[in-house]
Amino acid sequence: MRRKGNKRRLKRARRRRKLFTTPYIPLDLQINILLRLPVKSLSRFRWVSKLWSSIINSRDFRNQHLNFASSSAPGRLLIAFEDFHQKKLLLVSLPNPHASSSYSYCVPYRDLRLRKFDGRVMYNPVHGLICVGSRLMVEIFNPITRQLQAFPQDDPKGHDFFFGYDPIEDQYKVLAIDESPLRAEHKVLVVGRDRAWRDPQCVACPHVSHTTGLYMNGTVYYGASTKDIDSPNNIPIIMSFNVRFETFNIIKLPSEVVPMGIENMWTDKPLINYRGKLGVVKNPRNGYFRMWVLEDAEKEEWSMNTFQLPGSAAAVLDFKVMATFSNGEICLVPRKLSDPFCLYYYNLENKIMRSVIIKELSVSELKRGERLSVTVSDHYESLMFLET
């Protein structure tokens, strides 16, 4: 009888062990599941086990997650409001409204407001990280993990900053260009490694930057000007900065882009990414705009197209070009901001225009006079963990 009782207890114990035994999940399947999770969830799941921590913190997984997110769904829309009167920056994140309809409403948005800081400005975002700067400080901000890494400026008199990524060495770098044409200094810093600014390997020529940066495929582009030896005038050029090798190159502009006798041509001609090619757009006025695209960088061959906006928008508004998207649309913001805040999307392929109203975002509460600057860009969630 005792043996039968022991056998029954042993069978019950085995059944309980089978019931509570964790099922085996292959490692490849675990990684495949984790790749589909948002960054916030992955930040918490790092503490589930040492295995998951090593996976999520690895360089390969971080890059795979970013590639999967950017290929499987459109990026979020990041809008920066720079209030120079109150000296603060408001970041707004919302789903990118890729819609086929001619008119759509976008109500939800995520407020990523940064703390009040003296003279804060947003520079170009790269792979989910945002470069923000002020008179004395430049910082890298991850809006998803809420981490902020700060670097002091060497010279408080002012720099323009450009943010880029080296996909070979997996490094984010910040390029600082001195605002003074007399000094024309250039400094570089590797995020997470360098604690002090250093000189880049090579500077092609002394120049002064005039536009925000545009990052594409390991290179940062920005509008600039350089002195002509035989003339007192400045020559508008495009500078390219190779993030990996830290080298500069000059891209000459076609003659029709550079007006004769006008040195400040960059005030209304932002740089854009047009389907992986460098482009220059003249901000729309009186209903039309022109776009130049660098078709062959080695031969410096450019193409030019003229676009006419629909009459309903062209008759009333002048716009600023903000960004371009992979579906062939260009984002426009009216020069005169008003409530409700509205974005305009013009499709460069079929020449159709639509508008998107963000109803709950009040511009009148943000701006003081005309000192409110707006920047719009594509944005993806990043697993990059910054040192604090």
Q: Please determine, for residue 219, whether its predicted confidence score (pLDDT) is greater than 90.
A: yes
Q: Please determine, for residue 76, whether its predicted confidence score (pLDDT) is greater than 60.
A: yes
pLDDT digits (tens, 9 = 90+) for 282-310: 888 888 899 999 999 888 899 999 998 88
Nearest-angstrom CA–CA distance, 117 and 148: 13
Q: Please determine, for residue 73, whether its predicted confidence score (pLDDT) is greater than 60.
A: yes
Model confidence band, residue 279 (pLDDT cutoffs 50, 70, 90):
very high
Rounded mean pLDDT, 309-319: 72
Nearest-angstrom CA–CA distance, 283 and 334: 10
pLDDT digits (tens, 9 = 90+) for 56-65: 988 889 888 8
Q: What is the chain's mean pLDDT, rounded? A: 79
pLDDT digits (tens, 9 = 90+) for 344-355: 889 898 888 888
Model confidence band, residue 369 (pLDDT cutoffs 50, 70, 90):
very low
Model confidence band, residue 154 (pLDDT cutoffs 50, 70, 90):
low
Rounded mean pLDDT, 41-55: 89
Residue 307, pLDDT score: 92
Q: Which CATH number fits domain 74-379: 3.40.50.2000, 2.120.10.80, 3.40.50.1000, 3.40.50.300?
A: 2.120.10.80
Domain boundaries, the chain: 74-379
